[in-house]
Amino acid sequence: MNFFYALLAAAAIFFSYRFNLYFGIIVTAFIVFYIIYRYIPTYWAVKAQRAFAAGDFKEAKRLYKKSYDTNRAKAQIKINYAYTLMRTGDFDEAEQILNPIVRVKTTKKDNLKKSAKQQRCMVYYKQGRLDEAMEDAMELFNDGYRNTQMYGMIGYFKLISGGDIDETTRFCEEAYDYNSDDRDIMDNLSICYYRKGEYDKAAELSDKIIADAPKFVEAYYHGAQIAVKRGEYKKAAELMTHIDSCRWSNMTTVSREEVDELNKQIKERLS
């Protein structure tokens, strides 16, 4: 369809110039203006995606806002903007952007509604509304909306809610069967095994995550915790050295205070 419109525009420009030079200039100017008007939200969104990929969340936020403020940004751009706002800690603003997408009544954008609702679950969690987050997440999951991110998110919610560890482990094992390469799913399952005292199983998963040289804090923090339980204090200390080079954001689930405390414990064991 885009090719058809491009062909139509080219034909309009060609025949307008054949008819009259000034008319051709007017038609060309109109088409150029229309293209800019139509695609400027996408232009800013693409630049925002590049900034986000580079880890510059503040710049990504600024660029996504430019796209959003045109009032013509598509739903997927808005969802990406909301996720960026979560990275910068603007959870209330993220909720305001997601709510209209979730509440739209048309079924034509059902998957976008579910995607927005999934992101809103993380907003609720960060706002201290874990029960609402879990309720919405399980509603989506039980309705058949399942993906790697859903499995990772629900597994994490189950871990922090303090529910039955055996039930949580079964869910995280199901998630691992769904996608055995996802870092969050592997991290969740390693925590399950860690809490159950199955440190060898936990270490196997942790080592698999770390082998990919990840840039998220939790990989090294949880890996160090597991190493401590196995008496591998030098390994734990080495893992902790990588944390400073990781990307911290408002979505990081480990605090700097927890990192400092674990470092202190490891140093005491090594002294």
Domains of the chain: residue spans and CATH: 1-70 (no CATH), 74-145 (1.25.40), 166-271 (1.25.40.10)
pLDDT score recorded for residue 259:
96
Q: What is the pTM for the complete model shown?
A: 0.83
Express each pLDDT in 87-117 by its tens digit: 999 999 999 999 999 998 765 668 899 999 9
1 pLDDT band, cuts 50/70/90, is very low
- Cβ-contact 241, 262 below 8 angstroms: no
User: Over 70: is that where the pLDDT of 77 sits?
Assistant: yes
Express each pLDDT in 158-186 by its tens digit: 999 988 999 999 999 999 999 999 999 99
- Cβ-contact 32, 40 below 8 angstroms: no
* Separation of alpha carbons 130 and 159, rounded Å: 12
Q: What is the mean pLDDT of residues 219-226?
A: 96
User: Over 60: is that where the pLDDT of 140 sits?
Assistant: yes
pLDDT score recorded for residue 46:
94
pLDDT score recorded for residue 247:
86
Which is nearest to 135 in space by CA: 145, 127, 124, 126?
A: 124
User: Over 90: is that where the pLDDT of 199 sits?
Assistant: yes
Which tops the pLDDT comparison, 2 or 143? Answer: 143
Chain centroid to CA 182: how far? Answer: 13
User: Over 80: is that where the pLDDT of 34 sits?
Assistant: no
pLDDT score recorded for residue 5:
54
